[in-house]
């Protein structure tokens, strides 16, 4: 029988994604076939699999930790917010519809059977399933149609471990309140508590841990310290922890605009790990300054983010960067923003049917119903680049722009089409390719260009493989968990989960 364990949180950003990833790595190290699963994810950081399916980044890095390829079955439902009220609903990697919160709430029961079938299919291929919830299971206004927290735990007949974030404060109140707001049957499903993100001497928590165990009947199975582990982040909540200032010890200043609807800021993880690069996320125009590289990232609502940039006086600040001859790069929605005009005649993204772009690239983008989701190989000069595309709309180049690259494969199939655009000076360019900076040698060459432009010598023998870096981080995370959790109890919870399924049969 397939074993299972589910991590739920007292709140969003409690660290359950990382705990799930760490357990995936531990079990993988022990030679088990293990797969992550999150039935419903809400995030703007997504990934495209080798077959063109879109899924949330958290299950991607959990799959990597488990030593397997990402599969849309690991995240069958992905919600990508496009406005404060509406989200694009993606089911098994493909767009189903755009829905407001009420419509989706009413639609959820129709997804239950499909989610159950997808989970059973994936579980049949693995020794252990590591499930993750979303937000908090104590959202009592939503629990009657829940398919991601206790609703999913019941479908999978999975025991639950509650992950609580002590760094937020009020950790024991959060634990007690979460458990006691649940129906008695769901309370019994919780087999352990993990207190996460602790700073200080764990002995100070011992009396509190005993009291919360006495109050809830659930043991504390570990206190995990705030650890220096660097993984991809699931959603924009993590941007609150990102740097806003230049690290003066680094030679290169890279500024990323913190758009209101920023998507796939994981694109810049590869830059953050470079020894000579300071990456900062800019929220206000007067913070922009004169970076060596300015990046306008992807956006789930390009037209609205462009409008916000204009209202926030970013346009003159960006133009000053361009006038200084600094490099400006647009990725996906950022590429569209750099162009002359954005057309949305049927309101695909927003009610804004047309507006002028920043005018730094001679391009025109028109939004349409077709969503491009591909893993791609591209040729940029003599360099072969790997990346993936997630975008609505098509962009046409004018006479004062040349293509950035030629796409040679889409989802493993040969093709021949242009991607992106480059200005006549070469200082401004854009591409639809997410993950472009993950191409280590090409990225180091680009950074050395920036160094030379500042009168600095290029760095040699410093090419960093993001894959190797991530593997080391997964191992590091696994070690943190093994050192701070009662692994014997976790193993018992897993063993009991298989016994429970056998009995229920």
Region 36-51 average pLDDT: 94
Nearest in space to 372 (alpha carbons), one of 52, 49, 65, 82: 52
Q: Is the pLDDT of residue 503 over 60?
A: no
Residue range 198-211, pLDDT digits in tens: 999 999 999 999 99
Residue range 112-130, pLDDT digits in tens: 999 999 999 999 999 999 9
- Residue 349, pLDDT score: 82
pLDDT-derived band at 276 (thresholds 50, 70, 90) equals very high
Secondary structure of 372-387 as H, E, C letters: EEEEEEEEECCEEEEE
Hey, what CATH topology would domain 252-455 get? Rossmann fold (3.40.50)
- Residue 104, pLDDT score: 93
- Residue 235, pLDDT score: 66
Classify 401 as helix, strand or coil.
coil
- Residue 236, pLDDT score: 63
Two tokens, residue 253:
């200043």
CB 41 within 8 A of CB 76: no
Q: How far apart are CA 80 and CA 40, in angstroms?
A: 11
Q: How far apart are CA 474 and CA 459, in angstroms?
A: 27
CB 250 within 8 A of CB 279: no
* Average pLDDT of the chain to the nearest whole number: 94
Residue range 228-252, pLDDT digits in tens: 898 887 766 667 677 788 999 999 9
Q: Is the pLDDT of residue 29 over 80?
A: yes
- Bridge partners, residue 343, by sequence: 354, 366
- Residue 82, pLDDT score: 83
CB 376 within 8 A of CB 405: no
Which runs of consecutive H residues, i.e. helices, occur in 98-197? 101-123, 150-156, 171-180, 184-189
- Residue 84, pLDDT score: 80
Q: Is the pLDDT of residue 502 over 60?
A: no
R_g over Cα of the chain: 23
Residue range 346-355, pLDDT digits in tens: 988 888 999 9
Percent of the chain with pLDDT over 70: 97
- Residue 218, pLDDT score: 98
Region 369-383 average pLDDT: 94
Q: Is the pLDDT of residue 15 over 60?
A: yes
Which of 76-80, 123-127, 239-243, 368-372 is the least confident region? 239-243
Comparison of pLDDT for 296 and 140, the residue scoring more? 296
Homologous superfamily in CATH for domain 3-231+469-496: P-loop containing nucleotide triphosphate hydrolases (3.40.50.300)
Catalytic residues: 332, 434
CA distance from start to end of the chain: 11
- Residue 463, pLDDT score: 81
Among left, alpha and beta (phi > 0; psi -120 to 50; other), residue 24 is alpha
Which of 86-95, 110-119, 139-148, 273-282 is the least confident region? 139-148
pLDDT-derived band at 500 (thresholds 50, 70, 90) equals low
In the chain, what are the domain boundaries? 3-231+469-496, 252-455
Residue range 98-110, pLDDT digits in tens: 999 999 999 999 9
- Residue 237, pLDDT score: 65
CA geometry: angle 322, 325, 326, nearest 5 deg: 75
Q: Which residues of 208-232 are buried (b: 16+ CB within 10 A; e: fewer)?
A: ebeebeeebebebbbbbeebebebb
CB 252 within 8 A of CB 275: no
Q: Is the pLDDT of residue 223 over 60?
A: yes
Sign of CA dihedral 70, 72, 73, 77: positive
Percent of the chain with pLDDT over 90: 87
- Residue 186, pLDDT score: 96
- Residue 348, pLDDT score: 85
Say yes or no: do domains 3-231+469-496 and 252-455 share a fold.
yes
- Residue 205, pLDDT score: 94
Region 369-394 average pLDDT: 94
CB 502 within 8 A of CB 47: no
Which runs of consecutive H residues, i.e. helices, occur in 391-430? none
- Residue 178, pLDDT score: 97
- Residue 350, pLDDT score: 83
């Amino acid at each position: 029988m397939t074993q299972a364990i589910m991590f739920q949180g007292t709140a969003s950003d409690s660290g359950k994604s990382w705990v799930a990833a760490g357990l995936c790595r531990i079990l993988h190290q022990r030679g088990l076939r293990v797969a992550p699963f999150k039935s419903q994810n809400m995030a703007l950081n997504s990934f495209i699999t080798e077959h063109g399916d879109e899924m949330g980044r958290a299950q991607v890095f959990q799959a990597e930790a488990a030593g397997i390829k990402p599969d849309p079955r690991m995240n069958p439902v992905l919600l990508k917010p496009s406005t404060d009220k509406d989200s694009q609903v993606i089911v098994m990697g493909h767009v189903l519809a755009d829905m407001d919160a009420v419509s989706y709430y009413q639609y959820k029961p129709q997804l239950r059977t499909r989610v159950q079938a997808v989970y059973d299919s994936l579980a049949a291929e693995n020794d252990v399933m590591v499930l993750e919830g979303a937000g908090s299971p104590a959202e009592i206004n939503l629990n009657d149609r829940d398919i991601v927290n206790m609703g999913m735990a019941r479908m999978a007949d999975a025991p639950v471990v509650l992950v609580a974030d002590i760094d937020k404060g009020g950790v024991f109140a959060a634990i007690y309140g979460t458990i006691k707001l649940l129906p008695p049957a769901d309370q019994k499903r919780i087999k352990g508590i993990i207190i996460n993100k602790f700073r200080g001497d764990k002995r100070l928590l011992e009396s509190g841990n005993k009291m919360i165990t006495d109050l809830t009947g659930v043991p504390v199975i570990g206190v995990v310290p705030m650890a220096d582990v660097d993984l991809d982040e699931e959603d924009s909540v993590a941007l609150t922890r990102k740097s806003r200032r230049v690290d003066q010890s680094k030679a290169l200043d890279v500024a990323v605009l913190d758009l209101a609807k920023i998507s796939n800021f994981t694109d810049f993880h590869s830059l953050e790990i470079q020894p000579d690069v300071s990456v900062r996320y800019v929220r206000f125009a007067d913070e922009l300054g004169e970076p060596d590289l300015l990046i306008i990232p992807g956006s789930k609502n390009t037209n609205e983010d462009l409008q916000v940039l204009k209202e926030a006086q970013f346009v003159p600040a960006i133009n000053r960067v361009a006038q200084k001859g600094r490099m400006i790069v647009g990725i996906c929605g950022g590429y569209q923003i750099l162009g002359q005009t954005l057309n949305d005649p049927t309101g695909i993204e927003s009610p804004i049917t047309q507006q002028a772009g920043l005018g730094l690239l001679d391009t025109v983008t028109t939004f349409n119903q077709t969503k491009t989701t591909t893993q791609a190989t591209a040729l940029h000069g003599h360099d072969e680049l790997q990346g993936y595309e997630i975008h609505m709309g098509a962009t046409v180049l004018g006479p004062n722009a040349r293509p950035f690259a030629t796409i040679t494969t889409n989802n493993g199939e040969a093709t021949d089409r242009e991607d992106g655009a480059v200005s006549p000076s070469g200082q401004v360019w854009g591409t639809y390719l997410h993950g472009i900076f993950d191409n280590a040698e090409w990225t180091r060459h680009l950074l050395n260009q920036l160094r030379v432009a500042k009168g600095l010598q290029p760095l040699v023998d410093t090419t960093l493989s993001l894959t190797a870096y991530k593997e080391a981080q997964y191992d590091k995370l696994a070690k943190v968990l093994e050192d701070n959790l009662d692994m014997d109890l976790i193993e018992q919870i897993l063993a009991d989960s298989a016994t429970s399924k056998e009995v229920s049969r």
